Amino acid sequence: MPVLSSPIRSPLRSPSFSPADSRWLGPPLTRFTYDIDFVAGTAKGVTQPYGNNTNDGRAFRDPNNVNASFVPNSAGLLVSQASAGLRRSDRGHWQYPGGTVRNLWNRDLTNVAWVATSVTALKDQVGADGSANAASSITATGANGTILQSITLASSTVLLSVDIKRLVGTGTLEMTVDGGTTWTAIAGITAAYSLKFIVQAAVTNPVLGYRIGTSGDSFAVDFTSIVNPANAGINIPSQYRVTTTSATVLCAQSRPSADIADAGPIIGVAQGAFGFYWQGRSERATGAFVMTGATNLFCSVLATGSGGAVQLADGPGSSKTADGVWRVGLGLVNKVAGYVTAGGAIKVAANGVVGNAGTGATLEVALDHFDLGTNGAGQNSIYGLNERYAIGRNLTFTDAELIAMTT
């Protein structure tokens, strides 16, 4: 992991350049002491390794990730992640809450856990991760052929997701979680893998699976997974994938955390007067937290009013933008910047909109940790990507600089 002690001159790699929209983001961004680019995999003033969780002075460690997994890269391929350290691809750090995949053999539909009627299943497909013979094909040998798996689970809301592509035919594919009492036709299945899902409330002992409408039609399916949504009312499939075989698997969230017990320098900056910049993407309209401190330091997306205002708070002082500035969807980038001073002044800006000039902020000198894009249990998850985070001591910005950084 290279440490950049000063901005380098190539615009494609400079910490003052945004590859997403080909815009220079300096000079305010060059003033930050620490600048972690999760997309490029670089860091200024500090290191940020991946693939392990060693307490070696890095910017952020991950106290939650304990299982191997996959996340998407910019080419749409799922790439493997170690069972420790931050889950990162060339799209950034992926942040979703954890959840248990309840069904078995989610990549191998030839297993006896799956019961096929007028469907032939073979484990003969290149998976969504590019591995040979990792995924299954399901081919109808008669009209409305089904392949189903029964599991035991108390009545609850369930979300069934799959990476799927069409192999042969033009007919329908439907999904169910209640044994076919309800079938949902899945639109937009192409010759390339895409993530599809259905959600249903009050399902007891789910029976999950597929129905193929036309005899001879065939599909490749990978990572068929049923979970209970982690946060009530937020029915968004996780971009984490895990493999199940003969047992269920808890896929924990990946949480970038700067902790007082760690050797890294970031937590010490956040205990005093500081300025920061965050860039990322979110599938969540309200309730997402850009930064979550232990007690008093928060940067969050509010649900009050018409929703979508971004607020920075440190103790009783706060600053918030107008409603509706937060952008929802993995295709849309959010940029947030702000500062808090020793005198209690506090201000935030998001996506080119500056918040009010707040007063009465108190520095959280006893802050023992803060997280990016989530909190310890995942209630505050952004359901998306941390792309970049920068922080420095005693930094303030003019409104024009805040607008420039976040536009």
CATH of the domain at 30: 2.60.120.200
Residues 231 and 134 in one domain: yes
Residues 198 and 174 in one domain: yes
Pairing of strands 329-340, 274-282: antiparallel
Quick: pLDDT tens for 202-221.
Answer: 999 999 999 999 999 999 99
pLDDT attached to residue 20:
44
Q: Is residue 90 part of a domain?
A: no
Q: Where are the beta strands (DSSP E) in 169-231?
A: 173-176, 184-185, 194-203, 207-212, 218-227
Mean pLDDT score, 250-256: 97
Quick: pLDDT tens for 238-252.
Answer: 999 999 999 999 999
Residues 286 and 392 in one domain: yes
Residues 296 and 216 in one domain: no
Count of structural domains within the chain? 2
Which residues form the domain of 50?
3-63+255-406
> What is the percentage of the chain residues whose pLDDT exceeds 70?
94
Cis peptide before 27 (omega within 30 of 0): yes
pLDDT attached to residue 23:
41
- Cβ neighbourhood burial of 78 (10 Å; 0-12, 13-18, 19+): buried
Q: Is residue 223 part of a domain?
A: yes
Residues 129 and 164 in one domain: yes
Residues 112 and 243 in one domain: yes
Q: If pLDDT is split at 50, 70 and 90, which confidence band does 368 have?
A: very high
Residues 381 and 321 in one domain: yes
Q: Is residue 76 part of a domain?
A: no
Query: For residue 323, which phi and psi values (nearest 5 degrees)?
Result: -65, 155
The residue type at 388:
R
User: What's the rounded Cα separation, in Å, for the pair 352 and 347?
Assistant: 13
Residue 399 belongs to what H/E stretch? helix 399-406
On the CB side of 265, how many CA atoms lie within 13 Å of its CA? 14
pLDDT attached to residue 402:
98
Pairing of strands 42-44, 3-4: parallel
212 vs 22: which has the higher pLDDT: 212
Q: Where are the beta strands (DSSP E) in 230-383?
A: 249-251, 257-259, 274-282, 289-293, 297-301, 310-314, 317-320, 329-340, 346-350, 353-354, 369-372
Tell me the pLDDT of the chain averaged across its residues: 94
Q: Is residue 153 part of a domain?
A: yes
Q: If pLDDT is split at 50, 70 and 90, which confidence band does 14 have?
A: very low
Q: If pLDDT is split at 50, 70 and 90, which confidence band does 97 have?
A: very high
Quick: pLDDT tens for 67-93.
Answer: 999 999 999 999 999 999 999 999 999
Residues 402 and 277 in one domain: yes
Tell me which of 219, 251, 283 is where a domain ends: 251
pLDDT attached to residue 384:
98
User: What's the rounded Cα separation, in Å, for the pair 309 and 323?
Assistant: 4
Quick: pLDDT tens for 296-331.
Answer: 999 999 999 999 999 999 999 999 999 999 999 999
CATH of the domain at 226: 2.60.120.260
How many of the other CB atoms lie within 10 Å of CB of 383?
A: 27
Whether pLDDT at 362 is above 60: yes
Mean pLDDT score, 36-62: 98
Quick: pLDDT tens for 164-183.
Answer: 999 999 999 999 999 999 99
Cα dist. 265→45, 156, 168, 202, 365 in Å?
9, 43, 55, 47, 14
Q: Is residue 78 part of a domain?
A: no
Q: If pLDDT is split at 50, 70 and 90, which confidence band does 26 have?
A: low
Tell me which of 206, 234, 251 is where a domain ends: 251
pLDDT attached to residue 21:
41
Tell me which of 190, 221, 251 is where a domain ends: 251
Q: Which of 22-36, 124-138, 228-242 has the lowest mean pLDDT?
A: 22-36
Q: Is residue 77 part of a domain?
A: no
pLDDT attached to residue 1:
44
Q: If pLDDT is split at 50, 70 and 90, which confidence band does 12 have?
A: very low
For the sheet with 184-185, list strands across it.
115-117, 145-150, 207-212, 173-176, 184-185
Residues 218 and 270 in one domain: no
Q: Is residue 93 part of a domain?
A: no
DSSP category for residue 403: H
Residues 6+ apart with CB under 8 A from 113: 103, 104, 105, 149
pLDDT attached to residue 27:
79
Residues 291 and 394 in one domain: yes
Mean pLDDT score, 152-157: 98
Whether pLDDT at 198 is above 70: yes
Residues 11 and 148 in one domain: no
Q: Is residue 368 part of a domain?
A: yes
Residues 305 and 241 in one domain: no
